[in-house]
Amino acid sequence: MEIIKGIPLTSYILLCSILFSIGAIGVLYRRNALVIFMCIELMLNSSNLLLVAFSRYFSDTNAQVFVFFIMAVAAAEVSVGLAILMMVYRNTKTTDIDALNKLKF
Amino acid sequence: MMSQYLFYFLTFVAIFCALLVVFSKNPIYSALFLIVTFFATAGHYFLLNAQFLAAVHVIVYAGAIMVLFIYVIMMLNLNREVEPHKSTAIKIAATVCGCILGLVLVAALRETEMSAISEYSNPGIGLIERLGNVLFGAYMVPFEISTVLFLSAMVGAVFLSKKSIH
């Protein structure tokens, strides 16, 4: 299982860039607030994967601890975010993100 | 050689399912494809010898976060019919913007010099023993602070989902 002999680090950078861009496309493309949350998870995930790849290629344990903390923050973020989403749904009866345009210029 | 094929397979699955997350009409399909993407990412962690993180990733993301998502989707009764539609111009603009972002990222990182890669790389850095030593040694204080974060997130979630706030 010597992955770092066969796969250059550039492949991982490419993969994570593509995944991050797909997440960004999703945030811009969709109007359902729930799917936008999922796309944010996708972007967090790609950065996590890149941190793990760097930690493996540079033999550094600290990056994996950071990934652990990022996962903790993501879990907390999702719980609060979904509570906010429920609140929005209760008040507007939709999960359409464009229903919340009162602060828009 | 085997791990190389595995890498390309997992990469294909991850990118394909990520695209389906964005472009499938039904939110529940998006959630299910996101779970597949998470499993592919966990496979990547295994390939990178980060067994502990792979296990935690499956438990936290596929086990906790996605269950929460699917629960909310079912509770709000979201499906294809109530899915809001965006105009085609905005969709095209979003796709072009995302592709340009990807292009910039790839172009900026493609020529990066990775000179510092150590030849004597240690395959055991992702094991739970090493990780635990670091986590409960140098990162003890951040670990404790993250428990406070969880407590505040819990209080926030309970407070926000109360029926009326006076």
Tell if the CB–CB gap between B34 and A42 is shorter than 8 Å.
yes
Residue closest to B105 by CA, chosen among A30, A28, A36, A43 = A43
Determine how many CB atoms are found less than 10 A away from the CB of residue B75: 11
pLDDT at B154: 92
Residues B67-88 have pLDDT tens digits of 999 999 888 887 777 677 778 8
On whether the B2-108 domain is CATH 1.20.120.1200, my answer is: yes
On whether the A3-96 domain is CATH 1.20.1250.40, my answer is: no
Tell if the CB–CB gap between B146 and A69 is shorter than 8 Å.
yes
Residues A65-84 have pLDDT tens digits of 999 999 999 999 999 999 98
The residue extents of the domains of chain B are 2-108
Question: Between residues 23 and 52 of chain A, which touch chain B (CB distance below 8 Å)?
Answer: 23-26, 28-32, 34-35, 37-39, 41-42, 45, 48-49, 52
Give me the total of CB pairs closer than 8 Å, taking one residue from chain A and one from chain B. 244
- Kindly give, in sequence order, each residue whose CB lies less than 8 Å from that of residue A65, ignoring residues fewer than 6 positions away: B131, B134, B135, B139
Residues B106-132 have pLDDT tens digits of 888 877 766 555 555 666 777 788 888
What is the mean predicted confidence (pLDDT) over A28-51?
A: 91
Residues A80-103 have pLDDT tens digits of 999 988 888 888 888 888 888 877
How many Å apart are CA B165 and CA B27, to the nearest integer? 30
Q: Tell me which chain B residues have a C-beta less than 8 angstroms from the C-beta of A48.
A: 41, 57
The residue extents of the domains of chain A are 3-96
